[in-house]
Amino acid sequence: MKLKVKIRYFALYRDLSGKSDETMDLKDGSTLDSLLDEVRESHPIFRKQSGEFLLAVNEEYAAPETVLKDGDEVAIFPNVSGG
Amino acid sequence: MFARIQKERIDLSDLIESTRNADSGALVTFQGTVRRFSGDTEVVSLHYEAYEDMALKKMNQIIKDTVDRFGVNDVNVVHRIGDLSLTEDSVVICVSSEHRGDAFKACRHVIDTIKTEVPIWKQDIIASGGKKWH
């Protein structure tokens, strides 16, 4: 079984990926960490990125080992800098 | 208690009046403003971007946690997005409480937490040309 997730990129990572969002098909049981591997595969420029990748699922910060569900919205972004 | 994200300039006096109440003897306001230098780099303006739904959710959590932790009466936060010129307010936090000590501490806590937890980013628009994300 496959699952489909929406990925949103923000700030520097949107500029690097060249898109603000995309959908990705993943294998059942995929984690955020495995999603990140797929993202680095499809956007090789991220492999050179030494900065931190902050991850959120459905608008909450999430750990790399989080198991994704069909329809999740994943956000990938650098360290925040508001204020 | 409220959190807002907006493109428009922040109406400071309106925000202060929204935070004022008869149970509070202290009203503390923090304004984050756009400055000319980012380290050694001269900037002409800043661009702010937010993951708006999550940023609002986080700011509301911070406000609730702050009221619970410091026992203050009210906390309101407005953050700008879009293009901001030098000297403009990028964020304003207003806290009211019975006494000043809790209001100062709570206000400091809110801005410090926003800077580390809320998904908002700034980009320098550099005077000599170019842009740089923080």
The pLDDT value given to residue A68: 98
Q: Is B114 within the bounds of a domain? A: yes
**Residue B17, C-beta contacts closer than 8 angstroms, at least 6 positions apart:** none
Q: Is B43 within the bounds of a domain? A: yes
Walk along chain B (134 residues) and give the pLDDT tens digit of each residue.
999 999 999 999 999 999 999 999 999 999 999 999 999 999 999 999 999 999 999 999 999 999 999 999 999 999 999 999 999 999 999 999 999 999 999 999 999 999 999 999 999 999 999 999 98
Counted domains in chain B: 1
On whether any CB of chain B is under 8 Å from the CB of A16, the answer is no
What was the ipTM of the complex prediction?
Answer: 0.94
Range of the domain at B54: 2-124
Phi and psi torsions of A4, nearest 5°: -115, 130
Which amino acid is residue A21, in one-letter code?
A: D
**pLDDT by residue (tens digit) across A7-49?**
999 999 999 999 999 999 999 999 999 999 999 999 999 988 7
Q: Is A82 within 8 Å of B133 when comparing Cβ atoms?
A: no
Lookup: tokens for A65: 């080992």
Helices and strands (H and E) in chain A: how many: 2, 5
Best residue in B121, B131, B134 to probe A by mutation, most A CBs within 10 Å?
A: B121
On whether any CB of chain A is under 8 Å from the CB of B96, the answer is no
Counted domains in chain A: 1
Lookup: tokens for A28: 């059942």
**pLDDT by residue (tens digit) across A44-82?**
999 887 778 999 999 999 999 999 999 999 999 999 999
- Taking the C-alpha atoms of residue B8 and residue B21, their distance in angstroms, rounded to an integer, is 26
Q: Is A58 within the bounds of a domain? A: yes
Q: Is B134 within the bounds of a domain? A: no
Contact B72, B37 (CB under 8 A): no
Q: Is A26 within the bounds of a domain? A: yes
**pLDDT by residue (tens digit) across B65-97?**
999 999 999 999 999 999 999 999 999 999 999
Residues across chain A: 83
The pLDDT value given to residue A5: 97
Q: In which region does residue A41 sit, left (phi positive, over 0), alpha (psi from -120 to 50) or beta (all else)?
A: alpha
Q: In CATH, what number is assigned to the domain containing residue B20?
A: 3.90.1170.40
Q: Is B132 within the bounds of a domain? A: no
Q: Is B91 within 8 Å of A80 when comparing Cβ atoms?
A: no
Range of the domain at A25: 2-78
Q: Is A83 within the bounds of a domain? A: no
On whether any CB of chain A is under 8 Å from the CB of B46, the answer is no
Q: In CATH, what number is assigned to the domain containing residue A32?
A: 3.10.20.30
What 8-state DSSP symbol labels residue B9? P
On whether any CB of chain B is under 8 Å from the CB of A82, the answer is yes
The pLDDT value given to residue A2: 85
Q: Is B64 within the bounds of a domain? A: yes
